[in-house]
Structure 1
Amino acid sequence: MRAVVQRVSRASVTVKGEVVGEIGAGLLVLLAVAPGDGPDQVAWLARKVAGLRIFADDAGRMNRSLLEIGGAALVVSQFTLYGDCRRGRRPSFVGAAEPALAERLYEEFCSALVEQGVGTVARGRFAAHMQVALTNDGPVTLVIDTPG
Structure 2
Amino acid sequence: MSREVQVTFDAADPGAQAEFWAVALGYRVQEPPGGFATWEEALEAWGVPPERRNDASAVVDPDGTGPRVFFQRVPEGKQVKNRVHLDLRAAPGLQGDERMATLETEAERLVGHGATRLLRVDPEPPLIPGNIVMADPEGNEFCLD
Same fold (TM over 0.5): no
Work out which structure has the larger RCO, using CA pairs closer than 8 Å and 6 or more positions apart in sequence.
1
Identify, as 1 or 2, the structure richer in strand. Answer: 1
Considering only CA atoms, is the larger Rg found in Structure 1 or Structure 2?
2
TM-score by length of 2: 0.28
TM-score by length of 1: 0.28
